[in-house]
A and B are shown apart, each in its own frame.
Chain A
Amino acid sequence: MKIQDLETLNAVRQKGLAKFKPARPRIAVGLGTCGIGNGAEDVYQAFASAIEARGVDIQMARVGCFGFCAEETLVNIAIPGKPMVILNRVKARDADAIVDDIHSGAVATGRALCKIESWDHLTGVIDYGEGFPDIPKWNEIDFYKGQKKIVLRNCGLIDPEDIEEYIAIGGYRALLRTLRNGEPERVIEELKTAKLRGRGGAGFLVATKWDFMRKAAAGTKYVICNADEGDPGAYMNRNEIESDPHSLLEGMIIGAYTMGATDGIVYVRAEYPLAVHRLEKAIAQAHAYGLLGDNILGSGFSFHLSLVEGAGAFVCGEETAMIASLEGRAGRPRPRPPYPAEKGLWGKPTNINNVETWFNVPVIVNNGGAWFTQIGTDRSPGTKVFSLVGKVKNTGLVEAPLGTPLKTFVYDMGGGTGTGKNVKALQTGGPSGGCLPVDMFDTPVDYEALAQLGAIMGSGGMVVMDEDNCMVDVARFFIEFTHSESCGKCVPCRVGLDQSLRILNKVSKGQATSADLDMLEDLGPMIRDVSLCGLGQTAPNPVLTTLRYFRDEFEDHIHEKKCAAGVCEDLFLSPCENSCPLHMNIPRFIQLYKENRLEDAFESVILDNPLPGSTGRVCQHPCDDRCRRAGIDDAVNMREIHRFIADSAYGTEIETNVMKRLLARRLPDSGKKVAVVGAGPTGLAAAFYLALLGHKVTVFDENSEPGGMLRFALPEYRLPKAVVAREVTFIKRLGVSFVCNTRIGVDKTPQSLSKEFDSVFLALGTWEASPIDLPGVQCQGVHHALHFLDAIAHDKDVRIGQKVIVIGGGNAAIDSARTAARMGADVTVVYRRQRQDMPAIPEEVDEAYEEGVKFAYLCAPHRIISDGQGGVKAIEVQKTTLGEFGVTGRRRPVPTDEVMRMSCDTIILAIGERVDTVFTGGSQLELKRDGTIKVDRHSSETNLLNVFAGGDVVTGASNVSNAMSHGKRAAEMIDIKLTGEHRFARLFQAFGYGQVPPVEPAAGDRNTSPLLTPLQRKSTFDEVMLGFSPEQVRHEAERCLRCDAKGECVGIAAE
């Protein structure tokens, strides 16, 4: 039926409405490519069979995608008079139950994602009804909150293969009106008012472009839709065409009429078969209804539209290359001018716009340009669709007003990584865009703001990256992409990108130098300024932005041959080794243990890590987070294995033999003297290696015994003093002398030490409590966590009351709480965020719970109330709510007016530690603002000659293994400085051991260390974690997948 006028259009509309909003229930399955990939076809069939089997009166429909890819398959249930409910993660097996529910007029709340009571298609409003109070409205759930659907107005709601449904929601009325009015200038006026900018990425004003084309000489003119979407990770256009092809057609027909075009082409990627299929169908239907072809809507205007499938060259997204491709030539761009509006396809005036630009046209014509400017920013009105992908929980298509900050996309809609890992960067604009670090997530998304930071908005790819993404690799990936997609016509893009890629390959292999980075920074601006087309002009962006915001990572690859993310394979042995601050060769000691070579295993362990008994108990075990076994079941419990090896060696012949081996390998006496200040983990690690390197090492410490935080801050039940003492003794036997009860800054100064010694290493730790602005803090009964733990460790008589409140969420807070609990107190930990935000080791928190410690989350200290005699009576805490996301990816606690009083007699503040700067002793040592020492990242050198520093005194409070890694590196650097040679590697023994990974992973769950029962724990300070049994170690060692073994897997090779 040909539509001729409003009357016939309305007739079709009524027909469409009968299908779109029938008088019986309708089940619509989301059948975009994403849904189909998740089994939506099966779901559809299951519903159809369920309906048929029951003989119930329910209508089935196929719709596009409503955008929430992570929750596919989405199914819309519309029961007349009730809200339309969107079900998520629907499986074919759910169909029967859902159909039964519908038949009884209900929807199971548990399956529902959200509901829609009324929907504004922007061409018409559809009211469904009210009800289902337990189901949230669509824009009340995190993913859709903050979204504004203009381009996606119909996606996932209407049947894309039925033109009548599009007409039902008010489609093609804008076209009818435009043709009836016969004033194409008015369309351009509306677009000008709307300030609509091209959505392909460049953001050129659409009205200007259209006006240019309109004024070009009459005759044959072309309009082209650029649907050659090729950015890695971007699929907005695919979904738009798949879900709502008629919006594109209507936009193009209005555009053709406005600009006087006679012919149109949609240039779609051939890799989008479903989009091609639905678009072809839409074109055929539009012809049949008189909306395309000759004499459209009886107006006398004729427009012919065809579809061309692009063969997949990325550069064909560039308009002149696209024209070349359409003319049957190789897709290579040509210089502009002449612009396509003047001389385009076949030399005729041509207009090219992106899919989304065309989508915006009908609604602007329908609602007016002024309406459009109410959304978005002043310079960039409207919305933009992004495909939110990568390391983000809620993947999918999001459409939000321009000007929405990046963090809203990543955290609010995206829900962060959802894995507990931190977001590191956001990549926008694909290979033409850039990587922006978390501290720039306040940036509003618009053309100018992103360009200013070196990225671009682009066509709408948004890739979230977390700590497992290596920024060098990201830069390399994108350059590899543009390098292979470069057409080769102009020199800077063709050869410049090749040279850039070669440099990045060198960086990722650890073979680059600083000069290579300089060359990358020279090449970037040249390629950008000189290249012929947009591909080359934007190709350096990923490199330039990663260099600008993540330079440290490039430098780590170059100077330390380190890829912290564990991506650049040539730079690490295995993910666990790479994640270990000490770079312990974990697979090696596991294999040596499996081979019953306990002596070798212990030597391997202690050479990598001089305090294995201690770290075996208290390490934060970052290795667990990277272990590939976690992909099968759970990470291998590496910490417990090395603890077991250490515990089995100390005090036995093994220790004696390994000591002999080490002493035999110790380098000859260098005649150099090194002072180490601080006998904590950092200082002990440095002393160990410096002694092995043949230097005479003296360790100074203000305490009565060596051990630092290990001895005086970690409670006995976690790390027994005897373990620390054993390890200190081991280091003493290597020839290290300890001078205790000597305070630097008081008894000696860095200067006096550097006169006495050839080199000085400052590793003093952070022993001063951070100040807090809390009324009543001076009361008796208020302790600082470290002082409290230190006093206990010194066996001082510490008095605490019956009711103890601990403030904080770190390890010091949990240690204090559990210590106080053991002293018989009733303990509550007050923390301003939620449990999952606590920096403390999660197992420690679990154990605290078991021991009866109570927790009050979302509470911040407000004031301490005195009992009138100088003591504490209570504390008032302010309830907090979680507000905006901060740079750590955690929500910031925001205090509310609600104040709660908690009675108590003791308060322990565990809100952080800082450096006590007394040690500088008036020297010129350069400190940072927070009191930590400023050092060179790679050499550990301070500004004073021959004075090095490391550990917490440099980084601020951290953890044992991080601190030790500083000591280890400083030892290497000090040795280089003292001898001028690179001798560190000579300390390490090569072990021959099995290199065959298991053919099949050994079965079995992760072993955990047996614990004392909570009852036993409550009254004693005995060690809680008892350590593995030999059977457990053996089993746990078998679980290792041997990611380090690069040889062939024998079992597979035999097949």
Chain B
Amino acid sequence: MPKQVKLKIDGEYVNATEGQSVLDAAKANGKFIPSLCHVQGLSGVGACRLCMVEIAGGARPLPACTTPVQEGMVINTVSERLSKYRRMIIELLLSERNHVCAVCVSNGHCELQDMATRLGVTHSSFPYRYPRLPVDASHPRFVLDHNRCILCSRCVRVCAEIEGANTWNIVSRGVNSMVAADLNEPWGDAESCTRCGKCVEACPTGALVVKGKAVEEMVKRTQTVSRLATARGGSR
């Protein structure tokens, strides 16, 4: 039995297991911390920076998904500064690529959209970048639309950590980063792909989708991924 620790989240004492992340501990205690790159059961990467929380005694906010709980920690998940930062992050993501909800197969079932709604984002203060990005429809069953990708790397991790295929990775750097299959080939040519579809289920937006879906039809089963991870013993 792992050791139990006690900490305080938003003024409430909660129990957690040693080694657990702050995010998981909060969730286990029914507390919501916004996040996009995290999927329970997959390793934490701290990429989206939405789950930043303030920890008493620390100068800068820390990501809840990769910060392990400690006995006596005092955590603040809500503050004016954090809300502002979180909204800016959503706005930056919306401005980065071409997120056009009205014509998206994931409209109504999109974590980015839900998070924007939940955090009260009504528009982007940043000018849209409108990059010209390809759509990879070479795979027989699935489509990768780079226009809707937020580079959360959930696909990369689920493929490596659950399926063990290591098909996905991220190439290039900075704002030119792109999800790529195998050695940056069309997905349909990627020999390592087992066509299991876990990446599609893990993807929070309409970037990885099942072929043939019309607007609003694509519904993801992210819980399945977490369940599989738990069944497998969980990597984290």
Contacts and interface: CB of A to CB of B under 8 A. Distances in A.
Interface of A: 313, 315, 330, 332, 334-335, 337, 483-492, 494-499, 502, 519, 522-523, 526, 529-532, 537
Contact of A522 (B47, B60, B67, B88): B88
Contacts, number: 104
Main secondary structure of the interface of A (DSSP, over half): helix
B126 interface: yes
B93 to A, nearest CB: 6
Contacts of B85: 526, 529-530
Contacts of B45: 334-335, 489
A484 B174 CA distance: 6
B68 A337 contact: yes
Contacts of A495: 92-93, 95-96, 175
29 contacts: A330-B169, A330-B173, A334-B45, A483-B175, A488-B151, A488-B173, A488-B177, A489-B47, A489-B170, A489-B177, A490-B46, A490-B49, A494-B177, A495-B92, A495-B95, A495-B96, A495-B175, A496-B92, A498-B96, A498-B175, A519-B126, A523-B88, A526-B88, A526-B89, A529-B52, A532-B47, A532-B49, A532-B63, A537-B60
A497 B174 CA distance: 9
B16 to A, nearest CB: 16
Contacts of B60: 529, 537
A335 B66 contact: yes
A485 B176 CA distance: 11
Interface string B164-180: 00000110111111000
Nearest to A336: B66
Interface string B146-170: 0000110100000000000000011
Contacts of B176: 488
Interface string B68-89: 1000000000000100110011
A361 B56 CA distance: 36
A635 to B, nearest CB: 42
Interface in B21-41: none
B206 interface: no
B49 A494 contact: no
B66 A491 contact: no
Contact of B49 (A334, A486, A488, A531): A531
A310 to B, nearest CB: 15
A880 to B, nearest CB: 48
A330 B61 CA distance: 26
Contacts of A483: 174-175
A543 to B, nearest CB: 15
B177 A499 contact: no
B44 A335 contact: yes
Contacts of A494: 96, 151, 174-175, 177
A677 B173 CA distance: 61
Contacts of A484: 174
Q: Which 3 pairs, one residue from A and one from B, show the smallest C-beta to C-beta distance?
A: A488-B177, A495-B92, A335-B66
A16 B168 CA distance: 57
Contact of A491 (B49, B61, B173): B49
A335 B125 contact: no
Given A335-B66, A499-B92, A530 B174 contact: no
Contacts of B63: 335, 532
A332 B156 CA distance: 14
B129 interface: yes
Nearest to B63: A335
A486 B173 contact: yes
B160 to A, nearest CB: 12
Contacts of A489: 45, 47, 151, 153, 170, 177
A60 to B, nearest CB: 47
B134 interface: no
Nearest to B92: A495
B200 to A, nearest CB: 22
Contact of A530 (B44, B49, B93): B49
B126 to A, nearest CB: 5
Nearest to A337: B68
B2 interface: no
Contacts of B127: 499, 502
Most chain B beta-carbon neighbours within 10 Å: one of A334, A337, A489: A489
A499 B174 contact: no
Contacts of B169: 330
A967 B94 CA distance: 48
Given A335-B44, A335-B45, A499-B126, A491 B89 contact: yes
B218 interface: no
Contact of A486 (B66, B89, B125, B175): B175
A330 B173 CA distance: 9
Most chain A beta carbons < 10 A, residue from B84, B150, B173: B173
Residue from the set B49, B52, B81, B96 with the largest chain A CB neighbour count within 10 Å: B49
B48 interface: yes
Contact of A499 (B46, B81, B95): B95
Given A498-B129, A522-B88, A490 B47 contact: yes
B48 A490 contact: yes
A488 B153 CA distance: 11
A526 B50 CA distance: 12
Contacts of B84: 526
B92 A491 contact: yes
Given A315-B173, A489-B153, A489-B177, 15 more contacts: A335-B63, A337-B68, A486-B174, A487-B177, A488-B173, A489-B170, A490-B49, A492-B89, A492-B92, A494-B151, A495-B96, A496-B88, A498-B174, A499-B92, A530-B61
B174 A487 contact: yes
Contact of A485 (B44, B46, B93, B174): B174
B113 to A, nearest CB: 16
A491 B153 CA distance: 12
Contacts of A490: 46-49
Given A495-B93, A530-B85, A335 B46 contact: yes
Contacts of B68: 337
Nearest to B129: A498
A820 B44 CA distance: 83
Nearest to A502: B127
A488 B170 contact: yes
A519 B169 CA distance: 33
A482 B47 CA distance: 17
Contact of A529 (B61, B66, B93, B151): B61
A923 B88 CA distance: 49
B93 A491 contact: yes
B84 to A, nearest CB: 8
A489 B47 CA distance: 6
Nearest to A528: B60
A529 B47 CA distance: 14
B212 to A, nearest CB: 31
A502 B92 CA distance: 13
B8 to A, nearest CB: 20
A529 B60 CA distance: 6
Nearest to B96: A495
Contacts of A491: 47-49, 89, 92-93, 150
